[in-house]
Amino acid sequence: MLTDQKAIDFFTDSVILVKANAEKKDSLLAKEYSISGYPTLVLVKADGTEIDRIIGYMDVDPFLKTIVDYENGIGTLADMISKFEANPDRMNAYEIADKYKYSGRPEEADTWYGKVIELGDPTDSLSAEARMSQADMIRRAHEWDKALDAYMAVEKDFPGTMQAQDCEIYIAIVYRDSGDTTKAVAQFKKYIAMFPESPDVDYCNRQLGKLTGTTEAEKN
């Protein structure tokens, strides 16, 4: 989106663009602005104070509109919280939680995900998504045992749902990232056996190859 001529003209005329490789472990910008996903665009004032951020890719027109809206205080975290206070809405609460999550403020995010659950049916799909996001924050914090408990709880409370299916693969990822190769291999194989038609099977096979030192060609 930043290579589109509209975006080039916009940043040339209206905004100073600073690009940083925040994936480098020693990146001061990544630490200062709590960058956890890529790409991330952080819109800041002249003094470095954050206005808001955009996570992921967008088509150029909605991307530029979002930046202009943010500059005018529309759709920012403060704006969303103000609207929630006037009219408590679960979807708004979820979006606020996501903003906190991707701004590196997990405690505030957890509180708002909790509001999503409290304001509606604790067994519906939006509550399931809120619970998954809470588990994801725990995993990102490398609290492996708590993350396993969180994913297993979601799987138990939402049987037969896509969230429960996703928990199976995230459990494998937690085992992998925590260094328990044996359990990770068993869990990835379990996922493949349970959901052979899932598009994530290819991912699981790649992980198995890395964990066991084999390739698809060798296995076949």
pLDDT above 60 for 60:
yes
User: Is the omega angle on the peptide bond into residue 88 within 30 degrees of 0, that is, cis?
Assistant: no
Return the number of other C-beta atoms located less than 10 Å from residue 17's C-beta.
12
Burial-class residue 95 by CB neighbours within 10 Å (0-12, 13-18, 19+). middle
pLDDT above 90 for 41:
no
pLDDT digits (tens, 9 = 90+) for 148-188: 999 999 999 999 999 999 999 999 999 999 999 999 999 99
Q: Report pLDDT for 218.
A: 44
For residues 109 and 8, the model is more confident at: 109
Confidence of residue 57 (pLDDT cuts 50, 70, 90): confident
Return the number of other C-beta atoms located less than 10 Å from residue 126's C-beta.
17
Long-range pairs of 9-16 with CB within 8 A, sequence gap ≥ 24: 10/64, 10/67, 15/43, 15/67
For residues 36 and 113, the model is more confident at: 113
pLDDT digits (tens, 9 = 90+) for 104-125: 889 999 999 999 999 999 999 9
Q: Report pLDDT for 32.
A: 62
Q: Report pLDDT for 102.
A: 86
Asked if residues 167 and 154 have their Cβ atoms less than 8 Å apart, the reply is yes
Secondary structure of the chain as H, E, C letters: CCCCHHHHHHHHHCCCCCCCCCCCCCCHHHHHCCCCCCCEEEEECCCCCEEEEEECCCCHHHHHHHHHHHHCCCCCHHHHHHHHHHCCCHHHHHHHHHHHHCCCCHHHHHHHHHHHHHCCCCCCHHHHHHHHHHHHHHHHCCCHHHHHHHHHHHHHHCCCCHHHHHHHHHHHHHHHHCCCHHHHHHHHHHHHHHCCCCCCHHHHHHHHHHHHCCCHHHHC
Mean pLDDT on 64-72: 86
Asked if residues 171 and 152 have their Cβ atoms less than 8 Å apart, the reply is yes
Confidence of residue 59 (pLDDT cuts 50, 70, 90): confident
pTM, two decimal places:
0.79
Confidence of residue 26 (pLDDT cuts 50, 70, 90): very low
- 141 closest CA partner among 171, 116, 104, 180: 104
Q: Report pLDDT for 215.
A: 59
pLDDT above 80 for 8:
no
- What sign for the dihedral angle of Cα 208, 212, 214, 220? negative
% of the chain surpassing 70 pLDDT = 82
